[in-house]
Structure formats: structure tokens, C-alpha cells
Amino acid sequence: MKNQKRIRDYGISIGTLKTGKLNAISDVFGVKVGHVTLKDKEIQTGVTAILPHGGNIFKEKVVASSHVINGFGKTMGTIQIEELGYIETPIILTNTLSIGTAADALVFHMLQQNEEIGISTGTVNPVVGECNDMFLNDIRGQHVTKEHVQAAIVNASGEFEEGAVGAGRGMSCYQLKGGIGSASRLIEYKGETFTLGALVLSNFGLKKDLIINGKSVGAMIEDHEENNPEEREKGSIMVILATDLPLTERQLKRISKRANVGLNRTGSYIGNGSGDIVISFSTANRIQHFEKAMTTEWQIINENYIDYAFRAVGEAVEEAVLNSMITAETTTGRNGNSRTSLQEYVELFTKS
Amino acid sequence: MKNQKRIRDYGISIGTLKTGKLNAISDVFGVKVGHVTLKDKEIQTGVTAILPHGGNIFKEKVVASSHVINGFGKTMGTIQIEELGYIETPIILTNTLSIGTAADALVFHMLQQNEEIGISTGTVNPVVGECNDMFLNDIRGQHVTKEHVQAAIVNASGEFEEGAVGAGRGMSCYQLKGGIGSASRLIEYKGETFTLGALVLSNFGLKKDLIINGKSVGAMIEDHEENNPEEREKGSIMVILATDLPLTERQLKRISKRANVGLNRTGSYIGNGSGDIVISFSTANRIQHFEKAMTTEWQIINENYIDYAFRAVGEAVEEAVLNSMITAETTTGRNGNSRTSLQEYVELFTKS
Amino acid sequence: MKNQKRIRDYGISIGTLKTGKLNAISDVFGVKVGHVTLKDKEIQTGVTAILPHGGNIFKEKVVASSHVINGFGKTMGTIQIEELGYIETPIILTNTLSIGTAADALVFHMLQQNEEIGISTGTVNPVVGECNDMFLNDIRGQHVTKEHVQAAIVNASGEFEEGAVGAGRGMSCYQLKGGIGSASRLIEYKGETFTLGALVLSNFGLKKDLIINGKSVGAMIEDHEENNPEEREKGSIMVILATDLPLTERQLKRISKRANVGLNRTGSYIGNGSGDIVISFSTANRIQHFEKAMTTEWQIINENYIDYAFRAVGEAVEEAVLNSMITAETTTGRNGNSRTSLQEYVELFTKS
Amino acid sequence: MKNQKRIRDYGISIGTLKTGKLNAISDVFGVKVGHVTLKDKEIQTGVTAILPHGGNIFKEKVVASSHVINGFGKTMGTIQIEELGYIETPIILTNTLSIGTAADALVFHMLQQNEEIGISTGTVNPVVGECNDMFLNDIRGQHVTKEHVQAAIVNASGEFEEGAVGAGRGMSCYQLKGGIGSASRLIEYKGETFTLGALVLSNFGLKKDLIINGKSVGAMIEDHEENNPEEREKGSIMVILATDLPLTERQLKRISKRANVGLNRTGSYIGNGSGDIVISFSTANRIQHFEKAMTTEWQIINENYIDYAFRAVGEAVEEAVLNSMITAETTTGRNGNSRTSLQEYVELFTKS
């Protein structure tokens, strides 16, 4: 979006559905994304905030679901999402050892916005996801501060950078440079158009497995290289899905499970050491915190038509992973470790 | 195995791991598979039985797990598998509307083998999976009998047919002919060799989505054809996984979840109307029904090495789906409906 | 209801909420219950059918959920309930080894009612629950036939018998006679009145644990008796909940989980060998099988008020269990085994 | 333990099994508990740490499971517990809005102990549970610091205080004073003796519902009082279970689910607004972080005997809740709010 060259700009079109205007999660009306990036030698990390809408999220919650693809991860807040079917804060992404700080900052942010919390109403459920950026980042240093988290929330806007930014700063994907990527799809039903967007924090996979639009690019890269020290996967991926389809939390969970499709098509075998977690929300049905009515009225999608949304998720997640890689520049960090950008191998997948 | 030409025989090699001797689920020592096939005009259906070992399965249970990829399905027995972590009967596969008959027959079979059931010990948990073969089969006729189920169990052997046989007789896959397929992989750890095998009953997918080893063969087929009436997916897939790796039921469940990888790589978007269910078992740790000891000793795999098994599942399931298609002959059934064999399109994926 | 003396008639009032008119699951408008009872020496078993409404349940499905308290059970149909959030058949209860027959009969019944199934629309998901009545019944004989299942459906009405009838004929509860019991509660919110009803098939527990309204009646009974051979629990309980509260399937699941409260207060420790399963449905929001609209409108309860429903479930289930016992007469069956009616011990819990 | 008068000291004996020596979670060999208590006018809160054993928990993990009874809670770490079946840190309990700080402190503690984390091995999964103490505590102030968390870990010992201490300082139970309570049971099998212990952080329930050993004490208390303003439950309970039984994580989960039994018998209806979460571990089977062997040998309990453990959990949790109340003194905090000690009502439940 921000003048970065994305995977489509190299002629790679994933799937058959139309994209939204930005081809990003922020094509869903009201969704915004903000980053704070820390890059200074051994410190290669950051924070990314995803805001479901521009209002007070605690007072006007959005229907939400989570899905654990592989649970070697520390994402916070999913117990309550599963029980109650909504989120009530922005979603914060950061490195694994900074989730405590992120949660603390997010709670503080919510307290500032909502003076009833802890006085005349209950508490708040902070939602924080993470990946392990220890390869490039001094993760033990816990360099993320509460102020960084606040700033990521404040920075949020509809257009945002991808690649080695925000929480993606220190991440690796298929042993190349990973990070933040996004994509969207339009779902056209009987004259109505809905939007589904994905944002990923990519940090998983072995180089030899990378597939780009059906082509085994990873194996081709390895053929080019002299020595490939074997690594064990210690990665993760966070997938955030947003949509304006009117859904229940059960329907959202079904949609979330299709994130696998996109991941697997880029080559993932869903390794043991990877925390692969999906958090999804619909902006269409909202829950008022101080609702007084006995019942509320919802529009709910006819499930006979949900296949279109399933297809949209697979495509958007696949493209978001590729965008997270192609927009990320080669990065060197902790202990001189370095991850090469996929940009270096463009000729391998653009030649037919 | 039975002189059928399989996907490898056309030069398609899925993944990088070695296969077992038969490249089938029965490479896992003791596992046997039996079919009964009904084929007579409108009746295109059958039964497939998978036996975890050659002994009394009720008295010597095997560690097991199940995993629901998409639950638009009627598989029986999973509540108890999840609670207790074992199976105690053969696994029966048949068409959706015959699961009652299959369960009844399986219970009867177990009663014959175990005179203590219902007298001096409790009951038995029949495990029955299904797919919907209504496109080719007169499924309303409920043509499967208890005798067919018994015969499938009795017929079981290490070498077995694939394709349009047994429960696979009436199934469709990517709108081509589907059915029974199998494959296996060897897992070599520190000088020890373990085997993981998959058997699928394939009955899912739209033609346009079929991918063979990264190649969009389905789209190519559609280009060849004149009219392609749109169908809504009403299919399913059953995946049975067997291994001699010593696993807990939790580890088996993790392995089962990687069946997705194989399915997605053949092109599945995991449609709404598809009942996609995995049942897996390990023959290495067994539970004696009449165990008297207070504690028993188990060997359990070091989970740091489980990634090899994950990779094996993805590869074996992908190959099993392709085997189920390539071995199945073109079949015509109910109402003159017909499914073409993938064999008709060999040139599309064998030319480089 | 049918002139049987129930637990309230002995002065035992469970909880504080008002009951419905019949104090039964059929207080929820449209819900009906039918039994077929087999009682002939060694044969002490039967079938109970619960109908969510009087129309075509396949074409007009009801929102539903299931919850496994302990999964040593063989209930069928829950995979699809969980995935799609509805039921589309009556619920059939019978003995453990007759579930195949019951499923087969239920499928046949649905095919008769719906000629589109398997032709122009997909299949149907039969919901069958069970308990193990082997203590009193020749369960190995599989004496339930398809005709019995059909008859139970046809027999259904708003007023029905409790105790040693239908599927409850051979069941034991706290080593006394158990079977079918029911109760209901009214939920009054802001001038609107909703109803929640429970029906149980009780077949669990050890005598020493029985508690009636806080009083350890079981221990008192054991003190009266000369010898009490130790038994290991091989029982189960099925709990069916119905309500006209407008709920999503997630909310129904939350409500279902409170069935535990009622069970535990009658003394259950939720034994290993017990299959304790809840199936619940709401008649308020219905899903039309052939819905064409893109979205449908639902009324959904404001979850801030759901605590009243939670309380109602605990009370109704506790009372339903006690009703299942107090209405069941002393019964002798297989091998001369006998279960005494709780009626024999009335003085122990009616004296203050 | 620490010279506090507990519920047994008032003549209330819960259940029939023997208790361990201390009748506390620390009867399980190696388990220790530490508190830091903050009490200064509006600040009524604290931290409690539970240590599974005295060694390096990251390097020598213990088999673990979690179970969500009601998920209106923010407990961290359960995704990884469920996936991998172990815990690798002490368990920290504190107030809801301090979980971020607690996680951050716990990560820091683990980094100090394990210099490989984030360098040559992966990250660490902090386990933090919480309840909402806003009624008595200025929870918005986030008064818990990293130093408090560290100190609670350092303070841990086998004998520990119960009641209004540590994380329990500001908690309410049945609208009386709640907090930390513990109890244990011995499980005697074939000459071997195992121990199961429970620790609760109690913060749930309405006064009218309190039951003590079958007696409706809460209703009796309300009869004594003049006005009882209605409150909506905004509480929670954390239940920590420890045992030296050799169990798999699946067996531990089954055991964890029986915590309900104890809660329900004290009167809980498991309210909507309550985060009721169980975390359990077995000290008998341990996982070495740097295990090199391909397989490891486990002793696993014969599940036919697991009922004794189920009974032990129900009894220990019921008694732990009562201990948390009877040991807690009347406490006044935020805004002059006050919770009365159960000690004030001793005569209601000690008179027969």
C-alpha cells in the first residue's frame, strides 16, 4: 500500500476472487493498523496494533473467534473470546517475551478510555499475540515498552506498511525475511458485496518448503546456495482476519479454520515448534457493553453460502504470507544473524 | 498394490520421504483392509473395514485420536475416542445413510468375539465413518446390509484394492471419480525406522480446484470441456492414519491435524458441506481391557522429534488422495450420473 | 404428569424458580416425548423419542448444542451439531447396543418424510443417545427394532410417563431404579416469560453418594442394609434440554454446561465409566433447510441476563433426576437382577 | 496449616477419603506455595505463586492440563499447555488487571534461571491466573509490581497461610470474604498411596447459594440480615490441582473436570461473569527440556482405577473452598466496601 512492491506487482495472482481497493485488512470498513518499529543493531523488534473499528471497542465489542492451528504459542485472551464470542480491545502483536508488557500497556490504555472498568463494571480482556523473533532480535532484552504499545495504537491508520516493520521487524519466514503482510478479497452474493481481509505476522517454515503459487521456489533457492545449515523450526504465525459479513462466532470459527489452506499452499507443514493462531472478527454485529434490552436483533448469514467466504480466506492468507515476505528487506540483527529478502529471488518465480 | 497403476507409476512423486514397501496403510505391521463392493446400476456403494491388528481389538485396544477438519459429517464413536484415547473395534467406512446398519453389524461382530460384553464387562464403542455417495448411488435405498459389513471385516488383508471399491465405490473427488486410496511414509530417527500410513475415502472438491503436485490440473480440465454445470460441494473425506510410532493420544491428535496439509495441496478449500474427519491410531502402545496392574509402562516419543511425523502425514495424505482418484475407473450410476476417471487426463499432468 | 407421584409430591422442592405448568420438558411449546417400553423377563429396555416441534424438523431445524460431561458414551450426531449448530431430526434415546438400529430407523423415518434427501439435497444427521442397561436388560440380545423406534416417534405427546418406561425401562440410578425424569423452570425477565425444560435418562451413580436436596439419603439407605456388594460404575446419563429462549448455539452450550450443577447436587462424582452427555436446543430461532435469503434475522438474548437460565438448568436437571427415580417402580430383569425403587425409602427424606 | 483454624477444626468433614498430613496442596511432594500480600486502605491485593517442584521447572517440565469451567477469565498460558501437555514455569495468581505485570515478571524470572532461552533454545510459556478483586481493591491502580511477583516465588514453602493473603487478599466468595484455600486427599490403590492436592483462589458466588456440607447456610445468613442489595456475579475461581499419580495430560484433564463437583456442592451455579479455570499437574512424569533420547519411558495409571482420583478431586476442591472462606478475616477496602468473614456465622453450620 505504502508504495511498496507487493507480490501482485511481480505478476503473481493468488486465486480467482477480486481484491479490495487496498488489497489489505483495512479494506474492511473501520479497520486500522499501526506499527512501532525498533531497529538498532541487536534490537530488531516492534509492535503492531489492529483496531477493529474507530470507536470505543470496550463499549462496542465486535463478534470474534480464535482458532489454534498449532498451540506452541503464548497468545493471550482466547479463553474469553471462546466463551463470550467477542473482543473488546485492539489486538496487539509483538515478540514472545514482551507479551506481559503488551498486556499491561493494553490494559492501561483501556482503563484510560473507560473509567467504569474496575469501578462500576468488570474488567477487560486484553488480546495479545506473538511470534518469536530471537533469530534477529535480542528477545531476552525485553526491549518493548508500554509506550511503544501505546504508540502503535495511536499510529493506526487504513494505509500501513508491510514487511520488516512493527511486530514483523525481527521475524523470519521460510528462513528468509518475514514480517507483516496483508491481503483482502471481495465476496459477492446476490448483488451485495462483502469484504474479508487478512493480516499475518509470518515467522515460520523451512526454506526448502516454500511454494509460490504452486512453484517449489524454496527448493530452487536451496539449489542455488552452497551450504544450508539445518534449522529446527521455532517460529509461529499470527493470522488476523476481519470481515463485514454478518456472522456468529461459530461461523467465524469455521472461517478461521480455513486459514490453514493459505498457509499450507505456501509450503507449511505446520511444524511442532510453531505457534500458529488465528484471531478473527466481524464488524457487522456488535455487542454494546451496557446493553439494556432483553434481546437484540442480528443479521446472520445464510450458511448455505459460506463457501465463498472459505475460499476468500484461503486466498487472502496465502497472498498475505507472500506479501509479508516480498515487502521485507534483508535484515541483519542479533549476533550478526541475517535473513535475506525474497526480493533477491524474484527471477525464480517470475520466469515462467 | 493389486496390480493397479498408482500415481507414482505416472511419475508423480509427492514429497521427499521414503515410502513403505506397499506404499499403503498396511505397511504398518498388522494393519489390514477389507472391502465389499456393490455395483449394480443404481446401486454403487459398499463397505471398507480397517483392522488395527490381527488380534482381539476389544481386549487389546490401540491408542487412538480423532480430529474434525469440518464437521458436516456423521462419523460415530469419536466422543469415546476423545475421552479415553483408544479404539476397540475395527473402523468401518460406508455411505452416510448406512451408518446405522454398519454400527449394528459392528456391534454384533464384537459381541460374537467377546462374550463378556454386556454380561461381566461394559459395552463396546463402534467406530463408523461415512461419506455421501448420492451422486452415483441410490443412497436412499440403504442397500448395505449387516452381512456386507461382516464380509468386509472377514475380507481384510494387507494387500487391497484402491479406487472405486468398497466404501469408495460411489464416491466423487474434484467432480471426477474418487474412492479409496492409500500411501505410506517411513520415518527414520537415529537408526530406528517407523512407518506412518494413510487411507482415505475421498469424496470432496470441485474440479476447478484440483492440484496435482503443484500443477493446477483441474483448471486445465475445465478448459478442455464444453459445459461445466456448477455443483455445490456435498462431499466429505475420511482419513484413517496408522503408525507404529509410540505416541500418546495427544501426540496422535497433533499428527492428525496435519492431514489438512495433504488435502489442501490437492486443492481443497474445505467446503461447508464436506464432512472431513480424521481417525488415527498407534499400534505401539496397547491397552489391555482386563488390565489388573495399577500402572503400566509406556514408551513415548520425544516430542522434539515429532516434526518428521508431521511431514510424513502431509505427504501420505496428499498421495493417498491422488491414488484414490487415479486408480478409480469411470463409473456411471444413479439416474445415469457419471464420474470420469482421472486416468482420462493423464497427459495433463505427466507432460512437463 | 400421568398421575405419577413426583418428587414435589413428597414435599421436596428443588431451588427457588417457578416450574412450568407440567413441570416437564414439554412445557416448552411444541416439544413432545414418546416411549416404547419392552418388558418381558430378561428384556427390560425401550426407546424414548423427543421431538423439538410438531413440524418437519429436517426442513425447519432448531438451534442446538451438545456438551460432553464424560465421554464414556456412544451418542451419535454430535460432530455435526457442533459444526453447524442445529439438529434436524427427533432425538432418540435407547440402550447402548441398539444405537445402530435406532440410527437406521431414524434415517428411514426422515427419508419417508423428506423425499428430497439423497436426491436433490444432501443427507441427514440422526441424533441418538444411549445408556447401558445391561444390569437389568439382556442388552446383548439387541431387542430394539426399527419398528419400536418408529412407534416411539409416533407416540410422542406433551404429557408422558416418567420412570421405568421407554429407554429408561432398564436403567439404574445410584444403584436404585432410574429411568426417565423431567422438570422445567420459568425464566422471567422484564415482563417476558421463557421456559427451560430438562429430560434425563438416568443411569449413573453409587448408592452411598445419593443426596436429596442436601440430605445424604444414600448413606442412610446403606446403613439400613445388610450387605452392599461394591459395584463399579458402568452407567451414563443423557440430559436433553429444551428452551424457548432465543439463543445462539454458543449460548446454548454455556447453558448445557450447567447440567453438571444438578447432577453433582444429587451426589454424582462423574465416574470414569459413565457417558454423561447433554443435548440442548432452542425452539426460538429456526433454520429453514431451503432458505434462499442471503441473510436472516435473529433475536438473540442479551448475555448479561443469562445467569437466570444457568440457575434454571441446575434446578431442572436436579429435579429431573429425582423424578426419574421416584417415579420408577422396583424392577427385576436379566439374571434375576433387581433394582429397588426410591419409593421404598421415602421416609428417609421426607422426615425433617 | 500456619495455626489457622480450618473448616475441619469446626467439625465439618467433607467426604470420606483421608487427607494428607498438611491437608494441603503441598502434601504432594515438592510442591510449594508463596504469597505477597498488599494491604493498605484501598489497596487489598497480592500475588500467590505455586511451584510444582524445587528444581528448574523449565528444564524439568511437569505433565499438565487445563480446563475451562467458565471462560469469563484472562488466564494466560493455556494454549501451550493444551498443545504440549506440560507446564514449564511456576503458576502465578494475582488480580485481573495485573496479569501483564505478572507475566512480565515471570518471564524475567525464567530468563534469569535459564540463560539458553532466546539464545540457543526457544522461549518460555508463562502461566498466570487471575480473579477480579475490584470490590475490595483499587484494581485500576495496578499496584502489583514485578518485585512482588519475584518475592512470591522466593517466599514459597510447604507450609503457607490461607484466607485473605497473597492473591486472595481482595477476593470475595459467596459475598463473604474469600481468598486462598487448600486441601488434599490420599488415594490408596493396592498398597500404594498417592496424593492429590487442591489450592483455590475463591472469588465467586452469591450469598444466598452457599452450602456447607449439604446445609444451606447462605440462605440462613440472609435470613439474619436486614438488607441484601442484589449483586451480579463478577467473580471467578482459580483451581490448581497437584498430584503424584502418574498420569497423561488426557487423564489429568479428566481429573480437572471433576473440580466442578466440589464447586457445585458449595452452592455454585457457575455464573456468567465468573472465570472458572482449573490448572493441574502431575509431578510423577517429567519432560526434560534437553532430552536427547528418541523415546522415553513412562509409568501410566491404569484408567480402570481412575474413579478414586475423581472422588478425591471433588472432596479436596469442596474443602479448599470452605478453607478459603473460614480462614479469611473480615476485610474492608476500596470505597469502604467490606466483606464479612464466614467466621462470624460459625454457629449456623456447627449446630446440628
**How do residues B163-185 score in pLDDT, each as one tens digit?**
999 999 999 999 999 999 999 99
The pLDDT score that the predictor gives to residue A2 is 76
Choice between A230 and C191, residue whose per-residue pLDDT is larger: C191
* Phi, psi angles (nearest 5°) of residue A139: -65, -30
Q: Residue D278: which pLDDT band, with cuts at 50, 70 and 90?
A: very high
Chain A CB contacts of B257 below 8 Å: 69-70, 270
Kindly report the average pLDDT of chain D as a whole number.
Answer: 95
Partnered with residue A197 across adjacent β-strands are A184, A242
Mean pLDDT of C217-221: 95
Q: With 80 as the cut, is the pLDDT of residue A351 above it?
A: no
Q: Are D211 and D265 in contact, with CB atoms under 8 Å apart?
A: yes
In chain A, pLDDT over 70 holds for what percent of residues?
98
Q: With 90 as the cut, is the pLDDT of residue B235 above it?
A: no
The pLDDT score that the predictor gives to residue A114 is 98
The pLDDT score that the predictor gives to residue B274 is 84
Q: Nearest Cβ partner of D271 from C232, C260, C310?
A: C310
Mean pLDDT of C296-308: 94
**How do residues B185-213 score in pLDDT, each as one tens digit?**
999 988 899 999 999 999 999 999 999 99
pTM, two decimals, is 0.97
CA gap C38, C147 in Å, rounded? 12
Q: Residue B70: which pLDDT band, with cuts at 50, 70 and 90?
A: very high
Contact partners for chain C, using 3 or more CB pairs closer than 8 A, are A, B, D
Choice between C288 and A270, residue whose per-residue pLDDT is larger: C288
The pLDDT score that the predictor gives to residue B273 is 84
Q: With 70 as the cut, is the pLDDT of residue C129 above it?
A: yes
Q: With 70 as the cut, is the pLDDT of residue B300 above it?
A: yes
The pLDDT score that the predictor gives to residue D228 is 62
Q: Do C107 and B142 touch (CB under 8 A)?
A: yes
Q: Residue D96: which pLDDT band, with cuts at 50, 70 and 90?
A: very high
**How do residues C95-112 score in pLDDT, each as one tens digit?**
999 999 999 999 999 999
- Does the annotation count B120 as an active-site position? no
Which residues of A are catalytically annotated?
Answer: 236, 274, 276
The pLDDT score that the predictor gives to residue C227 is 67
Q: Residue B119: which pLDDT band, with cuts at 50, 70 and 90?
A: very high
The pLDDT score that the predictor gives to residue B228 is 62
Q: Residue D107: which pLDDT band, with cuts at 50, 70 and 90?
A: very high
Q: Residue C327: which pLDDT band, with cuts at 50, 70 and 90?
A: very high
Q: With 70 as the cut, is the pLDDT of residue B318 above it?
A: yes
Cell numbers describing residue D66: 487445563
Chain A CB contacts of B230 below 8 Å: none
Q: With 80 as the cut, is the pLDDT of residue B321 above it?
A: yes
Kindly report the average pLDDT of chain B as a whole number.
Answer: 95
Q: Do A123 and D77 touch (CB under 8 A)?
A: no
Q: Are A32 and A54 in contact, with CB atoms under 8 Å apart?
A: yes
Q: Do A307 and B214 touch (CB under 8 A)?
A: no
Q: With 70 as the cut, is the pLDDT of residue D5 above it?
A: yes
The pLDDT score that the predictor gives to residue C1 is 78
Cell numbers describing residue D303: 484408567
Q: With 90 as the cut, is the pLDDT of residue C333 above it?
A: yes
Q: Are B45 and B170 in contact, with CB atoms under 8 Å apart?
A: yes
Other C-beta atoms lying within 10 Å of the C-beta of residue C231: 12
The pLDDT score that the predictor gives to residue C295 is 93
Q: With 70 as the cut, is the pLDDT of residue D186 above it?
A: yes
The pLDDT score that the predictor gives to residue A271 is 87
Chain D CB contacts of B307 below 8 Å: none
What count of residues does chain D have?
352
Handedness of CA D115, D118, D124, D126 (dihedral sign): positive
Q: Are B32 and B182 in contact, with CB atoms under 8 Å apart?
A: no
Q: Residue B314: which pLDDT band, with cuts at 50, 70 and 90?
A: very high
The pLDDT score that the predictor gives to residue B227 is 67
Q: With 90 as the cut, is the pLDDT of residue C139 above it?
A: yes
Chain C CB contacts of A294 below 8 Å: 189-190, 192, 301-302, 305
Q: With 80 as the cut, is the pLDDT of residue A36 above it?
A: yes
Q: Nearest Cβ partner of B269 from A272, A304, A311?
A: A311
Q: Which of C65, C236, C268, C282 is catalytic?
A: C236
Q: Which of D133, D209, D244, D276 is catalytic?
A: D276
Torsion angle of the four alpha carbons D17, D18, D22, D23, in this order, in degrees rounded to the nearest 10: 10
Q: With 80 as the cut, is the pLDDT of residue C126 above it?
A: yes
Residue in the block written with cell 431404579: C177
Non-local (6+) Cβ contacts of B167 within 8 A are B35, B45, B46, B47, B48, B93, B94, B95, B130, B131, B179, B180, B201
Q: Do B248 and D246 touch (CB under 8 A)?
A: no
Which residues of chain B approach chain A closer than 8 Å at the C-beta? 69-70, 211, 214-216, 232-233, 254, 257-258, 260-261, 264-265, 268-273, 303-304, 306-307, 310-311, 314
Interface test with C, best of B67, B69, B79 (most C CBs within 10 A): B79
Q: Which of D26, D202, D268, D274 is catalytic?
A: D274
- What SS3 state is found at A19? coil
| DSSP code at position C190 | T
Please tell me the distance in Å from B243's CA to the nearest CA on chain D.
15
Q: Which of C256, C274, C280, C324 is catalytic?
A: C274
Q: Nearest Cβ partner of C111 from B101, B126, B140?
A: B140
Q: Do D261 and C269 touch (CB under 8 A)?
A: yes
**How do residues C264-283 score in pLDDT, each as one tens digit?**
999 998 888 888 999 999 99
| DSSP code at position A169 | T
Q: Residue B26: which pLDDT band, with cuts at 50, 70 and 90?
A: very high
CA gap C147, C141 in Å, rounded? 16
Interface test with B, best of D251, D299, D300 (most B CBs within 10 A): D300
Residue of C nearest to A297 (CA): C299
Chain D CB contacts of B88 below 8 Å: none
Q: Residue B3: which pLDDT band, with cuts at 50, 70 and 90?
A: confident
CA gap C103, C118 in Å, rounded? 16
**How do residues A292-321 score in pLDDT, each as one tens digit?**
999 999 999 999 999 999 999 999 999 999
Residue in the block written with cell 426410591: C342
Q: Are D316 and D198 in contact, with CB atoms under 8 Å apart?
A: yes
What's the distance, CA B101 to chain centroid? 19
Q: Residue A144: which pLDDT band, with cuts at 50, 70 and 90?
A: very high
Kindly report the average pLDDT of chain C as a whole number.
Answer: 95
Kindly report the average pLDDT of chain A as a whole number.
Answer: 95
Q: With 90 as the cut, is the pLDDT of residue D223 above it?
A: no
Q: Do B296 and D302 touch (CB under 8 A)?
A: yes
Least confident of A107-116, A173-182, A224-233: A224-233
In chain D, pLDDT over 70 holds for what percent of residues?
98
Q: With 80 as the cut, is the pLDDT of residue B291 above it?
A: yes
- Does the annotation count B274 as an active-site position? yes
Q: Do C211 and D216 touch (CB under 8 A)?
A: no
- Does the annotation count D274 as an active-site position? yes
Q: Residue D283: which pLDDT band, with cuts at 50, 70 and 90?
A: very high
Candidates D352, D349, D318, D331; CA nearest to D218 is: D349
The pLDDT score that the predictor gives to residue A352 is 60
Q: Do C268 and D257 touch (CB under 8 A)?
A: no
What count of residues does chain C have?
352
Q: With 80 as the cut, is the pLDDT of residue C232 above it?
A: no
Chain A CB contacts of C249 below 8 Å: 248, 250
Residue in the block written with cell 493468488: A14
Q: Nearest Cβ partner of A299 from C83, C295, C304?
A: C295
Q: Are A296 and C300 in contact, with CB atoms under 8 Å apart?
A: yes
The pLDDT score that the predictor gives to residue C189 is 83
CA gap A328, A332 in Å, rounded? 12
Please tell me the distance in Å from B188's CA to the nearest CA on chain A.
16
**How do residues D230-269 score in pLDDT, each as one tens digit?**
677 677 999 999 999 999 999 999 999 999 999 999 999 8
Complex prediction ipTM: 0.96
Mean pLDDT of B32-44: 98
Interface test with C, best of B67, B97, B113, B142 (most C CBs within 10 A): B97
**How do residues D13-51 score in pLDDT, each as one tens digit?**
999 999 999 999 999 999 999 999 999 999 999 999 999
Q: With 70 as the cut, is the pLDDT of residue D130 above it?
A: yes
Which residues of chain A approach chain C closer than 8 Å at the C-beta? 83-85, 189-190, 192, 246, 248-250, 254, 287, 291-305
